[in-house]
Amino acid sequence: MNKEKYLAELSKKLRRLPRQEYMSAMAYYRAYKKVNEPVRSVKKGFSVLWMVILGIFAVPIAFPLALALLAILGSAVVVVCCVWLCGFFLAFAAIAGGIVLAVCGAMVTSAHPATGVANIGLGILIVGIVILVLLCALGAGKLLLFLLRKLFSWILGRRKS
């Protein structure tokens, strides 16, 4: 509520008073509002000017720093994704190796039964372990994507992710 609305509302409320008291009360509140108006100081204007000047001088330092931070974050994301992708390639190679080991064990079983069965069992074991590792890696990947989304939403200043 600004000064004029306040005084108009007060005038409506004080109409019931006798004329002399009404005039005295309105004069008092007008003087009170006039005294308590916010004072515009020169100091406040200078502080804004100093902030603008400091902002202009900070841009040559802050902009390259922000750019470097953005490049570091981007390269960290690329490195993590590459390591994750290499882990998947390694897992698929291990699955292929386990399958080849099991097939070779099946072929050797007729000549050397113990070696063939051991190779089949080792191949199946490798395939099983790698499948478990892949499932864990998929969970870790989902968690990584969730955390990256949270990080970038925090950096960009968005509240909801």
161 has pLDDT over 50? no
**pTM > 0.85:** no
C-beta pairs of 95-101 under 8 Å, 24+ apart in sequence: 95/126, 95/127, 95/130, 95/131, 97/126, 98/122, 98/123, 98/124, 98/125, 98/126, 98/127, 98/130, 99/123, 99/127, 101/126
The predicted-structure confidence for 1-31, as pLDDT tens digits, reads as follows 677 787 788 888 888 888 888 888 888 878 7
Mean pLDDT of the chain: 84
